[in-house]
């Protein structure tokens, strides 16, 4: 048996890292309400990779409201096979 492996994602040539990542709420990237963020670093080189938005309690509430709305209007009415396509893509 032979396995074909994809390139390791440690190379920036393979993975494009954005300088900033927001919170993904209601289908889009948004900034946290209080503007908090933290730096993530490469543990091997200590190079800063990106600035990551840090969600607080108000952001969690906003995300839960969006998730409930999505569940009530779309997700719960979608057939299981259709939902699986979104979960396993």
Tens digits of residue pLDDT in 1-16 = 565 666 655 655 666 7
Mean pLDDT within 24-31: 96
Say if 8 falls within a structural domain: no
Residue 5 belongs to a domain: no
* 86 or 63, which is more confident: 63
Is the residue at 53 inside a domain? Answer: yes
pTM of the model: 0.71
If you compute the radius of gyration of the chain from its CA atoms, what whole number of angstroms results?
A: 18
Tens of pLDDT, residue by residue over 37-63, are 999 999 999 999 999 999 999 999 999
Long-range contacts (CB closer than 8 Å, 24 or more residues apart) made by 49-52:
49/17, 50/17, 50/18, 50/19, 50/20, 50/21, 51/19, 51/20, 51/21, 52/20, 52/21
Averaged over 80-88, what is the pLDDT? 88
At residue 53, what are phi and psi to the nearest 5 degrees?
Answer: -65, 140
Q: Tell me, yes or no, whether 10 lies in a domain.
A: no
């Amino acid at each position: 048996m032979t396995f074909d492996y994809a390139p390791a994602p440690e190379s920036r040539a393979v993975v494009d890292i954005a300088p900033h990542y927001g919170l993904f709420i209601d289908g889009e990237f948004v900034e946290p309400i209080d503007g908090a963020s933290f730096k993530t670093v490469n543990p091997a080189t200590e190079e800063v990779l990106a600035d990551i938005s840090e969600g607080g309690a108000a952001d969690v509430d906003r995300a839960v409201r969006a998730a409930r709305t999505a569940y009530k209007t779309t997700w719960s009415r979608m057939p299981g096979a259709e939902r699986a396509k979104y979960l396993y893509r």
